[in-house]
Each structure stands twice: as C-alpha cells, then as structure tokens.
A and B are shown apart, each in its own frame.
Chain A
Amino acid sequence: MTRHKGFTLLELLISSTLFAATMIGVIALVTAVVSSMSDALAVREVNATIRNINSKTMELVASAKCVKVDGEGSVLLYSDKCDTVSGKIVYSNKNIIVSNLKDETALDPSDVEIGKIGNNPIFTVSDNNLLKINIDIKKSNGKIYKSVQYRTSYIAGT
C-alpha cells in the first residue's frame, strides 16, 4: 500500500506565508527597479536639457553685445550697442526657443517641460548684459514625475 503523505495545517500556513512574503519581496524589488530606471531616465533627460540650455544660451548670449528683456518670457539680443537685433530667446509653450534670426532651435527636443519656479520670471536682465534664468524642468513619464529647479546666468560680450 502506498501512503500519500498530505500537508499538515501548520505546514500549509508556514509555506503559504513564506511564499507570500517572497512574492511580495520580488514584486517590490521589480517595482523598485522599474521605478528607479524610469526615474533615472527622466533625470537623464532633464540633465540633457539643462546642458543643452547652458551651451546654446551661453553661445548665443556671449556672441551678443547687449541683452534686453522684451516683455515677459522674451529676451532680445543685439549685435552692437542695443541697436541691431541679432537674436532672440523666447519662452513659449513650455519650451525655450533660441534664434539667431537665421535658425530657430527649441532647447528641449524631448518631452520635458520647462516652467517657472514659483512666481519668479524665467528671464531677468541687468545692466543690459547679464541674463539670468530661473527655470523648473519637469519630466512626466506615466506616473513617474521629476521636477528640477535650475538657475544660472550668462553674460554678453565676453
């Protein structure tokens, strides 16, 4: 006679608890990995946008001789003593667009959104040569959401 040994109630309770705990751990780990990877990709895109803004804006402003604010969210660049316009930097549709009057480049090629930090203006200019930017760069990737506040300044005619 073959006797099949069944599980006792205690064995079932222990094994199901262990199984549930292991599954919860594995699911939590997988979720954390996916969330971290998405978060890291979002941060990488935000960082790329910051670098892009830095290099393009610095290049354009440095080649200008004068900078003036032209209404909220717009800056005019001049090739001489604030007479001849040579370029423009505009905040439009959650993006910054730089233009040297020949080419127009959106500084955020991805789906990252650029916005204000609180009520601070995006652009401020002092002494017609010092341009300051104050931006909040946001990346939403489904439920993952990354927001980075960034500020720096650029000088004309260096």
Chain B
Amino acid sequence: MRNKRAFTLIEVIVSITTIVSIIGVGSMLVSSYNTTVQSNQASIVASGLAQELLTESYANRNKKPESPISVTFDKRVTLNNIAYARELYIDSVESGTQQSGSYWQATAKVKWSEAGKDREVVLITNISKLSK
C-alpha cells in the first residue's frame, strides 16, 4: 500500500499565517497611503483658510492705514467635515534700518484634529505700514 503525502498541520498553519500577514501588511499600507493623501488635502484647505486671514489683514491695512490692523474673522470654520480653529496675531516689528522703518508681521495659525492628532498650518507675512 502506497500512501500519498498530505500537508501537515504545521505547513497549513505557516501558509495561512503567511497569507494573513501579507494581506494585513497590504491593508495597512493602503490605509496609511490613504491617510497621507487625505491629510495633505486637509493641509491645503487649512492653508487657504490661513491665507484668507493674511489677505484680510492687508485689506484692513489698506482700509485704515493709520490704525493698527484689526481683523474680524470666523474663529471656527468647518469644511469637509473637519473643524478648523483659526488664530491671527499682528505684531509691529522694528526693521532696524531707518529706510524701512517698522512693519506689521501677521501670523495666521490654523489648527485641526486628525485621527486624534493635532495638526497646524502657520503662515506669516510682513505688511508694510502705509505713511499717514
């Protein structure tokens, strides 16, 4: 009598483990790639919101050249189901040279939360002071 050899239990377990591992790692890579792409998009949208604050700072400087820049804006904006929190800081900076005098430095910060992690985009621009 000749017996045909079948797979052993160890062989079956090892092959199943290998297949499951490959599928698991593949799924993780796909998921991670997707998260990165979505995350980049959130950053682009946040940059747009930050740019809006800097532009409004310019507009305020043009409107009231003799007053310090003061911008009224929505502190919380929800786009694409993500809640963005915005902050704007305006500082008067002395340039150190007599020719340029002082200027406004506007710093726009946009923060949001993504998969439990806090993220932030910061845009800074210098705005010249208009002569009175």
Contact of A25 among B3, B20, B56 (CB under 8 A): B20
1/0 contact string of A145-158 vs chain B (CB within 8 Å): 00111111111011
- When the two chains form their complex, are residues B33 and A40 in contact, meaning their CB atoms are under 8 A apart? yes
B59 and A130 within 8 A (CB): yes
Contact pick for B48, options A36, A147, A150, CB 8 Å: A150
Q: Contact size class for A? A: 35 or more
**B48 near A152: Cβ-Cβ < 8 Å:** yes
- Residue A5 interfacial (CB < 8 Å): yes
Taking a contact as CB atoms closer than 8 A, the residue among A33, A150, A158 that contacts B30 in the complex is A33
Closest beta carbon of chain A to B40's beta carbon, Å: 7
A residues near B20, Cβ cutoff 8 Å: 25
B4 engages A127 (CB within 8 Å): no
B23 contacts the other chain (Cβ, under 8 Å)?
yes
Query: Contact at B30–A44, with CB atoms within 8 Å?
Result: no
Q: Is B2 on the interface with A (CB-CB < 8 A)?
A: yes
At the interface, yes or no: A1 with Cβ under 8 Å from chain B? Answer: yes
Known: A32-B27, A149-B45, A149-B79. A158 touches B58 (CB 8 A): yes
B16 within 8 A of A: yes
Q: When the two chains form their complex, are residues A153 and B26 in contact, meaning their CB atoms are under 8 A apart?
A: no
Query: Per a CB cutoff under 8 Å, which of B45, B59, B79, B80 touches A127?
Result: B59
Nearest CB of A to B18, in Å: 11
Return the chain B residue nearest A149 by Cβ.
B79
Q: B residues 28-83 with Cβ under 8 Å of A?
A: 30, 33-34, 37-38, 40-41, 44-45, 48-49, 51-52, 55-56, 58-59, 62-63, 77, 79-80
Report the contact-size class of chain B (Cβ under 8 Å from the partner): 20 to 34
Closest Cβ of chain A to B64, distance in Å, is: 11
Give the interface centre of B6, B38, B45, B63 by most chain A CB atoms within 10 Å: B45
Q: A22-B19, A151-B49 are in contact. Are A46 and B63 (CB under 8 A)?
A: no
Instruction: Check if B48 sits within 8 Å of A54, measured CB to CB.
Output: yes
Decide if B4 touches A50 in the complex (CB within 8 Å). Answer: no
For residue A7, which residue of chain B has the nearest CB? Answer: B6
Contact B49 A129 (CB under 8 A): no
Instruction: Name the A residues within 8 Å of B45 (CB-CB).
Output: 148-150
Given A130-B56, A148-B45, A154-B55, also A44-B37 (CB < 8 A): yes
Q: List 8 A-B contacts (CB under 8 A).
A: A5-B3, A54-B48, A130-B59, A148-B45, A150-B79, A151-B77, A155-B55, A155-B62
Residues of A within 8 A of B (CB): 1-5, 18, 22, 25-26, 29, 32-33, 36, 39-40, 43-44, 46-47, 50-51, 54, 117, 126-127, 129-130, 132, 147-155, 157-158
